[in-house]
Structures are given as C-alpha cells and as structure tokens.
C-alpha cells in the first residue's frame, strides 16, 4: 500500500491531494480569482497561495482521515509554471517532507495531468491533448517518454481564451473559459477568424490580436454580439486542436484520445473531438472539472507512479523551474 500526498500551485489554483493505490482520498483546492478584465500576476498569486496553503493541507489530511505518519511520499510540482507560486508551494512541501521524515518527489505538472487522466479514464495508450491556460501540447507515449507531437508555437489556447475574456470584461468566476463557453452557447453568427495550424503545431497569438481588434470594432458598431465572438472563437480554436490531434493519431495509428488540462472541461471541445473520433472509429476520454483543472491529486498520482518505480528528489535538487518540457521526464513506470 502506497500513500502519496501531492502539492500543486503552478498557476492560480492551489490544490493538495492524497492518493492511496489509485484511490483519491482527498483533493481540496482553492482558486485565486481576479476581477473582470484582469489576469493573475505571479506575486499576487503567490500571496494568495501562501495565505491558504496550510489550511488546504490540513483539509487534505482531515478529509482523507490520515495522519502524516500514514503518508509514504511528498510530491510537489517542480514545474513548469509561474515562479513565485511554484516556490511558495515547494517551500511547504520541502518543510513537511523533512518534518515528517518522508521522501520528496518533484513532479512535472504536464505528466501529472496525463497520469491523472490515465487513472480516471483507464485509457490504455491514448493520444493526449493537453490544453490549459499555460500549455497546449499533443502528446503520445513512446519508449519511456511522453513525446510532444505538436504544440503551440506561441501562447496556450487557454491563454487566448482568458485574454479574450478580459477584453470583453466577463467574470473570471469560476473561470473565464467556463464563462466564454456559456456565452458561446447563445452565439448564432459565425465571425470568420484566422485559422493558424502550422503542420503539427498551432499558433494562437495572431487570432488573439485579430479578435481583440474585431471585438472593439464589431461590438461598438453592433455588427455582432459578444456571444457571437465567443462562439466563433471556440469553433476556430477547437477545430485547430481537433486537426492537430487527428494528425498525431494518424502518425501513431492510435485509436484513443485523452483530453487533459483545464480547457479539457469544455463540452464543446469534447463534442467536436468526439465527432472526429467517431469518424475514425476511435474512442474519446475526458475527465470532469475535479481532475482536468489543476489539482493536487494529479501530482500525487504522478508521484505515486514515480515513487513506486524508484524516483526520489534530493532536497538540494528540489529547485523549481518555470520551464520543464514534458519529454524531459523518464517515464520508467511504463514499458
């Protein structure tokens, strides 16, 4: 029996989760939400995390009904992500690991998403679409590495959505992407936007510039509504993601797609991906908001796999890093 506690705080969510042999015992989380029109800055986010982290840690232990002695390993997000919030969380993880006398494990945030997706959905060997505010990658497992088949060459798809939400000043509660999704359902007019797939990769910064300008022009002249723009943006962005996912599937001969990351909660994205999957006779896997949005249990799960295959992070090597490629991790727990 192996019990791992995982600490996650690389963006505006701070979550701590406990996993025991594939069972999620607790997974409390808090989100730092900024006023409409504003994004979250590193130092403010770190301050938010710092204010709540010890409370969330107590919650994680209480909800799991465990004491520190019951934990076998302390996992935390080593990267990638925002520097100041990552440090805040790592400090607590390092300190409790020493206080409790438990080994420490630095986990790659992207690998955390993948491993949680695999655990929850039981997908066998899927093509993974990892889409969030900070990352957009198409990933497939091959020979001990999560290989990046395609990715954004500039900003993440979630970042594009979040920044557009700021332009039209919609609420960031519970998340800007969720509110865009609700508004998109009420859109009826399709506004043509640039479509920028580059081979296996995608680009979003041009679409963002275009739609920011279009919003100012078209909304003030009444040519379309904000709902129409939300609808058009989703259709465009998600079509691009479906295209590069399909391309990777064709390369790998894959019959499964797993969507992970916060943008993976979007039901329209899931719907569009499912249409493509059905056309190919493939199966789509996705998780709900508990696990596709950043959370501590996903770090615990990746940590569980890593710990059981012999990984450990020495304290002196436990520095955090804002850049940490998914394929840098040696996936020793899979064949």
Partner 1 sequence: MAAPEAEVNTHTGKLEFSLDVPFPSAEEAIIALRSLSPDREPRRGGISKQLSVSGNTLYVRWSADEARTLRVSVSSFMDHLSLVLETMEAFGPAVKLHT
Q: Is 310 annotated as a binding residue?
A: no
| HSE-CB of 231 using CA atoms within 13 angstroms | 14
DSSP-H helix ranges across the chain: 42-64, 83-100, 109-121, 157-167, 176-184, 205-221, 226-252, 267-280, 289-292, 296-308
Q: Is 294 annotated to bind ligand? A: yes
Using CB under 8 A, which of the segments 53-61, 120-128, 204-212, 218-226 binds partner 1? Answer: 53-61
In three-state secondary structure terms, 219 is helix
CB-based contacts of 253, cutoff 8 Å, min separation 6: none
What's the chain's length in residues? 335
Q: Which one of residues 87, 153, 197, 219 is an interface residue with partner 1 (CB under 8 A)?
A: 87
125 is in an annotated binding site: no
The reply on whether position 21 binds partner 1 by CB under 8 A is no
Q: Which of 101, 310 has the CB closer to partner 1? A: 101
Task: Give the CB-side neighbour count of residue 287, counting CA atoms within 13 A.
Answer: 26
Binding to partner 1 by residue 318, rule CB under 8 A?
Answer: yes
Which string of x and - marks every residue 212-251 that binds partner 1 (by CB under 8 A)? ----------------------------------------
- Distance CA(87)–CA(63), nearest Å, equals 25
Residue 109 in marked binding region = yes
Asked if 1 is part of the footprint of partner 1 (rule: CB under 8 A), the reply reads no
SS3 282: coil
Residue 90 engages partner 1 in binding (rule: CB under 8 A): yes
Kindly indicate which of the ranges 30-38, 47-55, 223-231, 235-243 contains the residues binding partner 1, using the contact rule CB under 8 A: 47-55
C-alpha separations of 136 from 65, 81, 131, 157, 194 in Å: 36, 13, 5, 6, 18
Interface residue with partner 1, options 250, 275, 312, 315 (CB under 8 A): 315
Asked if 66 interacts with partner 1 (CB under 8 A), we say: no
The contacts of residue 277 (CB under 8 Å, 6+ apart) are: 257, 283, 284
130 annotated to bind ligand: yes
Nearest to 156 by CA among 197, 109, 204, 200: 204
Interface residues for partner 1 in 97-136 (CB under 8 A)? 98-101
CA 258 centroid distance within chain? 13
Tell me the binding residues. Answer: 109, 113, 130-134, 162, 177, 181, 266, 294
Q: Provide the binding-site residues for partner 1, judged by CB under 8 A.
A: 50, 53-54, 57-58, 68-69, 83, 87-88, 90-92, 94-96, 98-101, 315-320
Tell me the binding residues for a divalent metal cation. Answer: 109, 113, 130, 294
């Amino acid at each position: 029996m192996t019990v791992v506690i995982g600490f996650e705080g690389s963006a505006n969510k701070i979550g701590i989760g406990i996993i025991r042999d594939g069972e999620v015992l607790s997974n409390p989380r808090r989100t730092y939400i900024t006023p409409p029109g504003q994004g979250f800055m590193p130092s403010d986010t770190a301050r938010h995390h710092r204010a709540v982290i010890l409370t969330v840690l107590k919650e994680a232990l209480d909800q799991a009904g465990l004491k520190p002695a019951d934990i076998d390993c302390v996992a935390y997000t080593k990267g990638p992500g925002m520097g100041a919030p990552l440090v805040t969380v790592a400090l607590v993880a390092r300190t409790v690991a020493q206080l409790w006398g438990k080994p420490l494990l630095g986990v790659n945030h992207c690998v955390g998403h993948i491993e949680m997706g695999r655990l929850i959905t039981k997908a066998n060997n899927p093509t993974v679409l990892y889409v969030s505010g900070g990352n957009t990658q198409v990933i497939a497992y091959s020979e001990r590495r999560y290989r990046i088949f395609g990715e954004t060459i500039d900003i993440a798809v979630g970042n594009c959505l979040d920044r557009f939400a700021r332009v039209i000043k919609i609420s960031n509660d519970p998340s800007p992407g969720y509110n865009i999704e609700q508004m998109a359902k009420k859109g009826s007019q399709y506004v043509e936007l640039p479509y920028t797939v580059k081979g296996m990769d995608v680009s979003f910064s041009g679409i963002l510039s275009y739609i920011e300008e279009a919003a100012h022009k078209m909304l003030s002249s009444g040519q379309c509504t904000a709902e129409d723009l939300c609808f058009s943006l989703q259709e465009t962005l998600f079509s691009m993601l479906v295209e590069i996912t399909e391309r990777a599937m064709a390369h790998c001969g894959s019959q499964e797609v797993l969507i992970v990351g916060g943008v993976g909660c979007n039901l329209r994205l899931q719907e569009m991906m499912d249409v493509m999957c059905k056309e190919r006779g493939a199966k789509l896997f996705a998780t709900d908001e508990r696990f596709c949005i950043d959370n501590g249990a996903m770090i615990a799960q990746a940590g569980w796999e890593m710990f059981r295959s012999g990984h450990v992070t020495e304290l002196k090597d436990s520095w955090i890093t804002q850049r940490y490629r998914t394929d840098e991790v040696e996936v020793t727990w899979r064949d």
